Structure 1
Amino acid sequence: MPRSTTSTGLVIAVVAALTFGLSGAFAKPLLEAGWSPAAAVTVRSLVGGLVLTPFAAVALRGRWNALWRNRWRIVATGAIGVAATQLTYFAALERVPVGTAILLEYMAPLLLVAVAWARSRRRPQSLVLIGSVVALVGLVLVVAPGSGVALDPVGLLFAVGAMVGCAIYYVVAAAPPNGLPAVALAAFGLLLGAASLALAGVVRLVPFQAPLGDVALFGSPVAWWVPVVVIGVVATAIAYTANIAAAERLGSRLASFAGLLEVVAATFYAWLLLGERLTVPQLLGGGAILVGIACVRAARSDAPTAALPTTLDQTPTGSVPIVPTPAQPA
């Protein structure tokens, strides 16, 4: 992959991280006002999908058959990348500490490296392994998972499920476009994800409450739809489109590592907008994540085919769940 394409992809990935990271700060008022996480994610996905639909229609330019050709990619994005990943993540939150759930979900890049290693039977480049370890250490420092707390095995299983869903999302997002613009994949994937989440709420698979009263946003009362609009437009519509566009340029491995910047961005916004304390270990962790991404990028530049077999290497979500924690763009 040309270096210019990779550089452009990384710039777009940074935009995705910065926009995804806003969701936690703006979702927190909704959750504190009584919204259930599933309801917040459903509305977020619905608003984002509706906002992107007109742009998707323009981008398709009448080539609606592209939707049918990419139907399984759209289904995987909506059903797995948006809905299943969010549901398993929230199920994990009910049983294990937030930091632990975030840490496990964002180990998706390491899962992709391991899958590539197992399938190709070739050890990844040393820079990839070094970058993986450094990024993991940085992630631990940023999210600071609780220690000394008994962990529920079922909760851990749900968190691992979220990690798998996140990895699949990156694989799907990085697949060859096949005539489907990134904005169209984001739009219809989000709408399908919203429908899936709403159905889960209707059948009471997850709690679903959304009181439509005023919420306290940064110390001032505002209408409930104000944070919803910000989350839906910025942290969902723009974020998912940028994330998919970046993944198509970077491939699943590098895109998933760049996705760790969402954790750093969310932590920064929590400090800037919510007044949460930003610690020295978190700052060091953010630096470590950047070093890890740089190592993976350097390895990619030297050996662009070393990531995953053809069917996986070209495809990478985060989604990123929407909760008031350092990790969620989703």
Structure 2
Amino acid sequence: MHSARESSPGRSKSVGLGLALVSAVAFGGSGVAAKPLITAGIAPLHVVWLRAAGAALVMLPVAWRHRYLVRRRPVLLAGFGLLAVAGVKASYFAAISRIPVGVALLIEYLGPALVLGWVGIVQRRAVSRAAALGAVLAVGGLSCVVEVWSGLRFDTVGLLLGLAAACCQAGYFLLGDHGSDEGDASPDPLGVIAYGLLAGAAVLTVVARPWNLDWSLLASSARMDGTPVPAAVLIGWIVLVSTVLAYVTGILSVRRLSPQVAGVVACLEAVIATVLAWFLLGEHLGAAQLAGGAVVLAGAFIAQSAAPARPPSAPVAGGRPEAAGSKAPAGHGTAAE
């Protein structure tokens, strides 16, 4: 029986792009659900902690199933938890306490550009012109979506914190692809996510101090553009959709595409978040934001044309894939299914 790695390259690319889009939509919906909770009185860091801790509980059975990863890949699991789960959000919330939200969001989404730099300079691998052009267009479009010029002021610490968030986001894509060229020895992405969420939740527990949370707020309602919505429903959305589904589809898309291409497609998250806020929170878009969204879409479309075609694993005697001695090109990893 053929494995998922032996599917046609074209189909694998299409599935990867579809997963990347689902991940962008899922991540993009987090702000729409979180803002009513914050307005209702729950501190932003407490919302982040509830998100990570709830997702960690959901993924606990998966972590138990892949407990061997703790022994085999402890550095990968710790790095994913510190960077991809705790680092991104903690750095971002610290940044917006000193600089405008739009500026912080734009700096965070320099992550895909940092991935391109890491791949080209550190790993010394070729970066296609399409991926580079797509990243440039995406960053330019994002500056319009978040209206980076609105309330812009220079704050060295705030900018450094935003850059830290960008570095953590780049780490998410690079760690998501880590070990994907090892064939059957590749770490299961679901196990990596499960332990990453556990590690991230542990770090955020120290940072957010949830024992100061007013737990009675979780049993009340929050208002979404004037409509009361149970806080538990919003938290459930943040945990199940904007965290579990978002991370699972995100890391699977990285395994099927490459960190640099999946990173550029992920820039759509900011556009999706802005559009959802328009429809669900009544935060209307201006002409510059609409134009910026179109530029981001163009950048993502150009970048996806650089998506690598995953070659099928060459079978050997007995129908098994090639031995680990011949690794697939980096970024052409497998997705556990």
TM range, smaller chain: 0.7 to 0.9
Task: Give the CA deviation at 1:13.
Answer: 0.8
How is 1:138-153 mapped onto 2 (pairs within 5 angstroms)? 138-147=141-150, 149-153=152-156
Correspondence list, 1:23-34, <5 A: 23-34=30-41
Residue from 96, 110, 113 that aligns with 2:113: 110
Q: How does 1:31-50 map to 2 (within 5 A)?
A: 31-50=38-57
8 A Cα contact 1:29 1:215, kept in partner: no
Identity of aligned residues (%): 34
TM-score w.r.t. the length of structure 2 is 0.81
Partners of 1:232 and 1:148 lie apart in 2 by 32
**Distance across 2 between alignment mates of 1:136 and 1:299:** 17
8 Å contact kept, 1:264–1:286: yes
Cα gap change, 1:210 to 1:288, in 2 (>3 Å): farther
Q: Secondary structure at the match of 1:89?
A: helix
> Counterpart in 1 of 2:302?
295
Matched, 1:215 2:221: yes
Please list, as runs of the form range in 1=range in 2, the aligned pairs for 1:1-330 lying within 5 A after superposition.
2-55=9-62, 57=64, 60=65, 64-119=67-122, 124-147=127-150, 149-177=152-180, 178-202=185-209, 209-213=213-217, 214-218=220-224, 219-301=226-308, 313-314=330-331
- Shift of residue 210, structure 1, vs aligned partner: 4.3
By how many angstroms is 1:37 displaced? 1.4
Supply the distance in 2 between the matched residues of 1:182 and 1:259 (Cα, whole angstroms): 18
Q: Deviations over 1:134-179 (max 9, x none)?
A: 1121111211113463221110011011111110111001223545
Specify whether residues 179 and 130 from structure 1 end up closer, same or farther in structure 2 by C-alpha distance, changes over 3 A only: closer
The alpha-carbon distance between structure 1 residues 185 and 157, as it changes in their structure 2 partners (threshold 3 A), is: same
CA contact (8 A) 2:131 2:261 kept: no
- SS in structure 2 of the partner of residue 3 of structure 1: helix
Aligned residues: 304
Contact 1:95 1:151 in 2 (8 A): no
Q: Check whether the contact 2:258–2:307 (CA below 8 A) recurs between aligned residues.
A: no
1:245 deviates by 1.0
Change (3 A) 1:303 1:182: closer
Q: Which has the larger radius of gyration?
A: 2
Structure 1 residues 70 and 227: alpha-carbon distance in aligned structure 2, compared to 1, 3 A threshold: same
CA distance in 2, matches of 1:150, 1:93: 12
Paired amino acid for 2:193: A
Between 106-115 and 46-55, report the one with greater CA deviation: 46-55
Q: Tell me, yes or no, if the aligned pair for 1:176 and 1:315 is still in contact at 8 Å.
A: no
What is the CA-CA distance between 1:302 and the residue it aligns to? 8.4
Contact 1:258 1:293 in 2 (8 A): yes
Q: Matched residue of 2:257: which SS?
A: helix
How far off its partner does 1:272 sit?
1.3
Q: Cα gap change, 1:315/1:139 in structure 2, threshold over 3 Å: closer, same or farther?
A: farther
CA distance in 2, matches of 1:312, 1:25: 38
Q: Aligned partner of 2:10: which letter?
A: R
Unaligned runs of 5+ in 1: 305-309, 317-330
Q: Greater CA deviation, 165-174 or 181-190?
A: 181-190
Does the CA contact (< 8 Å) of 2:9 and 2:310 recur in 1? no
Structure 1 counterpart SS, 2:216: coil
Contact 1:88–1:162 at 8 Å: present in 2 too? Answer: yes
TM-score of the superposed pair, with normalisation by structure 1: 0.83
Q: What is the Cα deviation at residue 111 of structure 1? A: 1.1
Match of 1:82, SS state, is helix
In the alignment, is the contact (CA less than 8 A) between 2:53 and 2:201 conserved in 1? yes
Question: What is the CA deviation profile of residues 233-277 of structure 1, one whole-angstrom value per residue up to 9, with x for unaligned ones?
Answer: 111111111111111111210111111111111111101111110
Distance in 1, matches of 2:68 and 2:60, equals 16
Task: In structure 1, give the amino acid aligned to 2:42.
Answer: W
- Distance, in Å, in 1 between the alignment partners of 2:99 and 2:10 is 41
